[in-house]
A and B are shown apart, each in its own frame.
Chain A
């Protein structure tokens, strides 16, 4: 039974805009610290980028060569998520597979970078790797085991939302922020349009924009210029669970180099381009053909597996890019931007980040919110197993009744 103690209740009211992964985890974190939380999401929860992501539970191995700190954080977070949302994770480990001599050579620096980041990567003999996953390309030159996994992109954040609701946070889907009221250089109120189209005004002590690729639009409501570039990535799912382990290319991160199993599907991703708007993004035929070819290099039977679905999601890159190459140069790191220095106090924007890191992103954001509000409460989100995502519906039903 989910029933964590909340020792002190604080009067401070925080409005979270955005019901994706970071908003969900932040609502839970702040509710656990005893703050009064209202979360609004313009569509259904997780209908933006969150629900559409690849579903890879990152051990951090992919990032280890490029950035040990991000890799270390991923490793710590995957262990925490496996403890606190165990039923929404298919954990079977992962393999990084080399298909050329160059890639096999890259394995040495890859393994040492992983070990430096606290990721227990190790060589697996190629015969062993093929015994684990017979669908692997027989031409594999080298295989490295890492603790990767798959997670349900909808049910993990939904469990965080259920936890928030259980602690009294108010969660409103299909509720759009349409205005921000400023007074004396401070954001103090919001105009919300509810599911029935009616508008309502309410005041808050602090506003967090956790709107990802939509952060530019929300910032503009307060007259802020928040530099965000929507960077769509495409994914392709075929029918058939070709592997149980996550299969990645043993090479520096690129396109179409991760194959993630999930239920009865195998999903290859991703690509990256830039877009002007995060809305209505669809994969192109070129992206789908490219992904299929890349997946078949890792697992040849992917080429003959029946098509299931193709889709795209808009990553929120922190910064501004006018072309695809500039988009790639933008860091994937996460930041909390308080806007006091931009002339709007009482409001911050969460920028960037990765799905696996939703809990720790929320921890950093909640630390910032508490510091701004003068509240000293520690983060405790790693301490409790979250309730089932199904409880989210039950809480919604109870509130309406």
Chain B
């Protein structure tokens, strides 16, 4: 299938035309085009602007971008999806793809908003994560439904790994991969620490982190939970079903009940 990729490059876009397999991801397409350009392919292929990537399976969160208007991980977005009807912004109705004069499906790639732009579509979501305290954990108990307790591990003593002082249990990472898509999609225009940081704080409270009260204090800042206007774009674009909007509401509820208690 014919595709034309418009990849943001400074003020304009680099135009990359190619015959590509619709089963390919956007990231695989960029990788193939870059390999062709650097390998001296004939006819010459245009240089691909900078883009971020690492794990290629939606775990690292580096390849976040705005693809045809919608916040997406490039490694999990297939070209075929872009050749079919798809929303052009979070929560919108699906629209048919844009087709160029030569019949190629148009794929427009922009960097995430509110990111630190390095170049091309490479932008780091540092600002979206800035409010997460350094000490906040990233491990949570795994859902061990109907599974026997793991026991008899002689290496646990050597490393002292226990979750929040509880007995050793099954662990897994938090779902959030810190990709910044939520923050990019958020329409709030006042100073706001953003959905990713607030969701991480509420998850810390839910896990029962020792310093949970500090998390609530942070969320009480003027640029914290109160700045959320409940557009819920964050929950719609999150590739990991973290539902940051829900966590912000839970923080608001906790702050409201705390305020009510103070009054009483």
| CB nearest to A153 among chain B residues | B55
A211 and B38 alpha carbons, distance in the complex (Å): 17
The 8 Å CB contact of A174, one of B54, B62, B119, is: B119
Mark each residue of chain B from 146 to 190: 1 if its CB lies under 8 Å from any CB of chain A, else 0.
Answer: 111010111100111100000000111101011000000000000
Interface size of A in residues (CB-CB distance below 8 Å): 64
**CB-defined contacts of B116 to chain A, threshold 8 Å:** 393, 396-397, 400
CB within 8 Å for A277 and B173 given contacts A79-B155, A390-B132: no
| Residue among B134, B143, B146 facing the most chain A CB atoms (10 A cut-off) | B134
Residue numbers in B under 8 Å from A44 (CB-CB): 51-54, 62, 122
B124 lies within 8 A of A52 (CB): no
Q: Does the CB pair B35–A92 fall under 8 Å? A: no
- Residues of chain B with a CB closer than 8 A to A279's CB: 31, 34-35, 38-39
Give CA–CA (A167, B3) in the complex, Å: 46
Q: Which A residues are CB-close (under 8 A) to B171?
A: 90-92
Q: Which residue of A lies closest to B178 (CB)?
A: A390
- Interface status of A340 (Cβ within 8 A of chain B): no
Chain A residues near B75: list those with CB within 8 A: 309, 311
Q: Is A241 an interface residue (CB 8 A)?
A: yes
- Of A43, A132, A195, A393, the most chain B CB neighbours within 10 A belong to A393
Which residues of chain A in 348-400 are interfacial with respect to chain B, using CB atoms and an 8 Å cutoff?
387-388, 390-391, 393-394, 396-397, 400
8 A Cβ contacts from B24-80 to A: 24-25, 28, 31-32, 34-36, 38-39, 50-62, 75-76
Contact of A154 with B159 in the complex, beta carbons under 8 Å: no
Tell which of A45, A87, A237 touches B57, judged by Cβ atoms closer than 8 Å. A237
Chain A residues, Cβ within 8 Å of B31: 279-280, 282
The answer to whether A308 and B55 have CB atoms under 8 Å apart is no
> Is A346 interfacial (CB-CB < 8 Å)?
no
Chain B residues whose C-beta falls within 8 Å of the C-beta of A155 in the assembled complex = 60, 138
Interface hits, A250-281 → B, CB 8 Å: 261-265, 267, 277, 279-280
Proximity bits, A154-173, B CB within 8 Å = 1, else 0: 11000000000000000001
Name 15 interchain pairs, CB-CB below 8 A, sorted by A. A46-B54, A79-B155, A83-B160, A91-B159, A92-B170, A120-B155, A154-B62, A155-B138, A174-B118, A244-B147, A263-B173, A267-B57, A282-B32, A390-B132, A393-B116
